[in-house]
């Protein structure tokens, strides 16, 4: 009977194509938009992966990783004195304008690392030596900076080249790899002192304190201790990441706009699939009635309809997921738009698609359930 | 009234179908239509019985209740020792599955399935394996002159050929009762004759019965007995004076 069910389904080319198309489109909308959303959310926490430290301490009012509220330099020492803290170093962070050869200005994110320890250093150097960042005017730029800041030059920026940050000369001593940030600006790593030289003078010039717990204490615990002792906002790395993501969810329209599109995908799926499948059942009412007359139980018929609906679900999902992955490969190369697909995403989308299909099948089952098999005698 | 039935009842015929006092009403209140107003009649094993009567007199309704496709209110129906009036819905479904073969006016073949698949349906419903079902279906299609066309679809056939496929489907699982509602009314005269002839040759069997509702007086001659209905009742059952077939059971 199940083979018959599938043949009946495939035999109705138009509806089959419509069902597959609708479900593939719904899958694509839901999955692609979710992946871009997740990618975008991961961009909001890029600092945590580009500047690595177990504990992040900021001004009491800091709620998320992209918010900088300057503190007094002495706060580093207060953090150091909290029991459980192994080490604590200052970090300076600011956004400055860089002047390009063609006369344009581009914003860049300046990260000033503790000169002695270079804690928060880039994870991967592509060219040059990290230690050279201690030389006068030295900076390490990321690969995005090479792209962005080379405008107007004959050759892309290289180690040894010089450019301007806030009217001051910066010499490239290294090129590193960095994850792209939500703001879309390149990272420029330098030392804490050099970074302050690039920036306009202000009274407070400490942005963040990076710290580590002593062996045997967890970062979560020690962050809590720092918070209690100093009144500063202290987070462990993971907690800071989630705090950041939740901050964007609460305070921006991003989840709303993506959520709307994802919901739209769900609605498109349920409407197209539900309606087309119901029409399919109506078209086949006579034949399904004949099957009932010939002794097929309601249970058998229901199973046939479920099988048909699930089949279009699996095929439609397969096509939609395939298209999403193709899209993903296309954009991951370019880095735009953001794209992130953890395994939960296809699994979740598959479940949603199956729910849509079961819903469609149930509509049809309710219709056929009540049909008297005697309708087959009526003209 | 009911002369044929009462006479033969005592004359050593084995009954296939026994119907007493059956009523069926469609709708409720003002709009209610009583389609069957206390039907009594019998069908013998081995016979082809025709039900005739004016349009709207309840022939299709009667077939539907005998076949177990429609519930009825009062009365008793026994079909080959199945008492439909006391079966649960699930048992009625099982009864239809094993005991009844259906032939409809509109053929009711599934257009997206091949002929052999269409014919296989009752076997598959009865749990026969795919391969065996197709073999048995191909064999009966060949018997009906459709050898070599097993993989065609219904749309590639003429009306007469489609009705032959429907006959094959009605008989493939060897049901004891074959039910036909106006099997020839969608066909031209010659085709109708051929179809009835084949139906008689293949379906008529000492341990079965074939019940045919028809308007078509050109096929009356294939009947063993005639049942005349009028206004929801059986008026008369009689031996067919025009019959051309030898009786199977005496
Ligand atoms: N499903 C139904 N709902 C309401 N009335 C019906 C239904 N089926 C049949 N009837 C009525 O029952 C009567 C008998 O119908 P039917 O058995 O189809 O007659 P026949 O087959 O002899 O033409 C008619 O008056 C018809 O209108
Ligand atoms: Mg009728």
Q: Give the tens place of pLDDT for each residue, B76-87.
A: 999 999 999 999
Q: Do A376 and B108 touch (CB under 8 A)?
A: yes
Same domain, A36 and A87: no
The confidence score (pLDDT) of residue B8 equals 44
Same domain, A23 and A88: no
The confidence score (pLDDT) of residue A1 equals 84
Mean pLDDT for chain B overall: 90
Residue A245 lies in a domain: no
Same domain, A76 and A208: yes
Tens-digit pLDDT profile for residues A356-370: 999 999 999 999 998
Spacing of C-alpha A21 from chain mean position: 27
- List beta partners, residue A195: none
Residue A244 lies in a domain: no
Same domain, A204 and A111: yes
**Residue at a domain's end among A199, A231, A263:** A231
The rounded Å distance from CA B66 to ligand 2 centre is: 14
The confidence score (pLDDT) of residue A371 equals 87
Give B107's pLDDT tier (boundaries 50, 70, 90).
confident
Q: Would you say B59 and B7 are in contact if contact means Cβ atoms under 8 Å apart?
A: no
Give B7's pLDDT tier (boundaries 50, 70, 90).
very low
Per the structure, the count of domains in chain A is 2
HSE value, Cβ hemisphere, 13 Å, CA-based, for A97: 8
Q: Which residues contact B112 (CB under 8 A, 6 or more apart)?
A: A7, A8, A10, A11, A12, B153
Please name which of A35, A46, A42, A41 lies closest in space to residue A328, comparing C-alpha atoms.
A35
CB < 8 Å to A13, chain B? none
Show the tokens assigned to A45: 């926490």
Q: For A205, list phi and psi in degrees, rounded to 5.
A: -130, 30
Q: Does the predicted interface ipTM exceed a cut of 0.95?
A: no
Residue A358 lies in a domain: yes
Residues of chain A with pLDDT under 50: none
Q: In whole angstroms, give the CA distance from residue B183 to residue B202.
A: 15
Q: Do B108 and A295 touch (CB under 8 A)?
A: no
- Confirm or reject: Cβ of B60 under 6 Å from ligand 1: yes
Same domain, A108 and A210: yes
pTM over 0.90: no
Please name which of B204, B202, B189, B170 lies closest in space to residue B50, comparing C-alpha atoms.
B204
Residue A22 lies in a domain: yes
- List beta partners, residue B173: none
Tens-digit pLDDT profile for residues A110-162: 999 999 999 999 989 999 999 999 999 999 999 999 999 998 889 999 999 99
Q: Which domain range does residue A77 map to?
A: 72-231
Residue A181 lies in a domain: yes
Q: Do A377 and B126 touch (CB under 8 A)?
A: no
Q: In whole angstroms, give the CA distance from residue B152 to residue B134.
A: 14
Of all residues in chain B, the percent with pLDDT exceeding 70 is: 94
Residue A156 lies in a domain: yes
Residue A65 lies in a domain: no
Same domain, A204 and A285: no
Residue A283 lies in a domain: yes
Q: Would you say A172 and A160 are in contact if contact means Cβ atoms under 8 Å apart?
A: yes
Count chain A–chain B contacts defined by CB atoms under 8 A. Answer: 81
Strand locations in A255-308 (E): none
| Structural domains of chain B, ranges and CATH numbers in brackets | 15-110+173-243 (3.40.50.300)
Q: In whole angstroms, give the CA distance from residue B48 to residue B197.
A: 12
Strand locations in chain B (E): 15-26, 33-44, 48-52, 76-79, 82-83, 100-103, 177-181, 209-213, 225-230, 233-239
Q: In whole angstroms, give the CA distance from residue B60 to residue A128.
A: 93
Q: Which ligand 1 atom is the nearest neighbour of the CA of A374?
A: 1
- Confirm or reject: Cβ of B69 under 6 Å from ligand 1: no
Same domain, A290 and A347: yes
Same domain, A159 and A217: yes
Q: Which ligand 1 atom is the nearest neighbour of the CA of B213?
A: 21
Q: Which residues contact A147 (CB under 8 A, 6 or more apart)?
A: A156, A186
Is pLDDT above 50 for B3? no
Is pLDDT above 60 for B5? no
Q: Strand B76-79 to strand B15-26: parallel, antiparallel, or no bridges (unpaired)?
A: antiparallel
Integer angstrom CA distances of residue B223 from A134, A258, B236? 111, 72, 15
The confidence score (pLDDT) of residue B217 equals 85
Q: Across the interface, which of A284, A294, A374 has its CB nearest the CB of B121?
A: A294
**Residue at a domain's end among A201, A231, A261:** A231
Looking at residue A308, the DSSP 8-state letter turns out to be H
The confidence score (pLDDT) of residue B1 equals 37
Q: In whole angstroms, give the CA distance from residue A220 to residue A215.
A: 13
Q: Which residues contact A372 (CB under 8 A, 6 or more apart)?
A: A289, B69, B70
A67 touches chain B (CB under 8 A): no
Residue listed under structure tokens 């044929």: B4
Same domain, A336 and A219: no
Q: Across the interface, which of B102, B105, B117 has its CB nearest the CB of A293?
A: B102
Q: Do B60 and A294 touch (CB under 8 A)?
A: no
State mean pLDDT over B7-28: 81
Same domain, A156 and A284: no
Same domain, A93 and A164: yes
Q: Do A295 and B94 touch (CB under 8 A)?
A: yes
Please name which of A22, A14, A35, A15 lies closest in space to residue A264, comparing C-alpha atoms.
A22
Q: Strand A162-165 to strand B15-26: parallel, antiparallel, or no bridges (unpaired)?
A: unpaired
Q: Which ligand 1 atom is the nearest neighbour of the CA of B64?
A: 17
The rounded Å distance from CA B58 to ligand 2 centre is: 7
Q: In whole angstroms, give the CA distance from residue A196 to residue B112.
A: 77
- Confirm or reject: Cβ of B219 under 6 Å from ligand 1: no
Of all residues in chain A, the percent with pLDDT exceeding 70 is: 100
Same domain, A7 and A138: no
Q: Would you say B240 and B208 are in contact if contact means Cβ atoms under 8 Å apart?
A: no
């Amino acid at each position: 009977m199940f083979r018959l069910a599938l043949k009946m389904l495939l035999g109705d080319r138009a509806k089959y194509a419509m069902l597959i198309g609708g479900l593939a489109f719904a899958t694509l909308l839901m999955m692609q938009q979710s992946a871009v959303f997740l990618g975008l959310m991961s961009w909001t926490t890029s600092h945590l992966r580009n500047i690595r430290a177990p504990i992040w301490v900021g001004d009491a009012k800091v709620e998320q990783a992209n918010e900088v509220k300057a503190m007094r330099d002495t706060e580093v020492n207060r953090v150091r004195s909290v029991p459980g803290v192994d080490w604590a170093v200052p970090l300076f962070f600011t956004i400055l304008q860089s002047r390009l050869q063609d006369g344009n200005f581009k914003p860049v994110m300046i990260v000033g690392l503790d000169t002695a320890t270079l804690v928060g250093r880039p994870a991967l150097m592509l060219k040059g030596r990290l230690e050279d960042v201690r030389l006068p005017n030295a900076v390490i730029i990321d690969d995005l900076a090479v792209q962005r800041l080379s405008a107007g030059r004959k050759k892309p920026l290289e180690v040894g080249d010089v450019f301007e940050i806030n009217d001051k000369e910066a010499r490239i001593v290294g090129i590193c790899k960095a994850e792209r940030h939500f703001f879309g600006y390149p990272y420029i790593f330098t030392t804490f002192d050099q970074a302050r030289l690039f920036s306009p003078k202000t009274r407070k010039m400490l942005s963040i304190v990076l710290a580590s717990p002593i062996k045997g204490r967890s970062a979560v615990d020690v962050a809590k201790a720092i918070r209690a002792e100093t009144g500063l906002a202290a987070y462990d790395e993971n907690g800071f990441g989630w705090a950041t993501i939740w901050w964007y969810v609460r305070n921006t329209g991003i989840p709303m706009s993506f959520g709307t599109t994802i919901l739209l995908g769900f609605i498109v799926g349920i409407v197209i699939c539900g309606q087309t499948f119901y029409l399919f059942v109506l078209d086949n009412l006579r034949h399904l009635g004949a099957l009932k007359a010939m002794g097929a139980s309601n249970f058998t018929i229901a199973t046939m309809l479920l099988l048909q609906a699930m089949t279009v679900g699996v095929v439609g999902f397969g096509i939609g997921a395939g298209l999403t992955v193709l899209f993903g490969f296309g954009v991951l190369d370019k880095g735009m738009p953001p794209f992130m697909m953890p395994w939960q995403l296809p699994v979740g989308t598959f479940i949603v698609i199956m729910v849509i299909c079961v819903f469609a099948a149930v509509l049809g089952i309710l219709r056929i359930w009540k049909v008297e098999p005697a309708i087959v005698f009526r003209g | 009234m009911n002369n044929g039935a009462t006479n033969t009842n005592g004359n050593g015929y084995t009954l296939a179908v026994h119907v007493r006092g059956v009523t069926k009403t469609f709708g409720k209140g003002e709009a209610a239509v009583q389609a069957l107003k206390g039907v009594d009649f019998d069908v013998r094993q081995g016979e082809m019985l025709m039900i005739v009567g004016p349009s709207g007199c309840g022939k299709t309704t009667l077939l539907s209740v005998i076949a177990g496709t429609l519930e009825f209110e009062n009365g008793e129906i026994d079909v080959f020792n199945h008492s439909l009036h006391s079966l649960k819905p699930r048992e009625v479904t099982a009864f239809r599955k094993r005991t009844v073969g259906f032939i409809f006016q509109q053929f009711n073949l599934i257009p997206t399935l091949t002929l052999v698949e269409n014919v296989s349906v009752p076997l598959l419903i009865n749990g026969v394996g795919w391969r065996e079902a197709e073999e048995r279906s191909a064999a009966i299609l060949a018997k009906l002159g459709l050898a070599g066309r097993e993989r065609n679809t219904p749309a590639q056939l003429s009306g007469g050929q489609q009705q032959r496929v429907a006959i094959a489907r009605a008989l493939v699982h060897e049901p004891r009762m074959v039910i036909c509602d106006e099997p020839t009314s969608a066909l031209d005269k010659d085709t109708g004759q051929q179809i009835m002839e084949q139906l008689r040759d293949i379906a008529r069997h000492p341990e079965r019965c074939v019940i045919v509702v028809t308007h078509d007086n050109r096929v009356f001659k294939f009947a063993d007995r005639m049942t005349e209905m009028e206004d929801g009742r059986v008026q008369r059952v009689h031996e067919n004076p025009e019959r051309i077939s030898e009786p199977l059971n005496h």
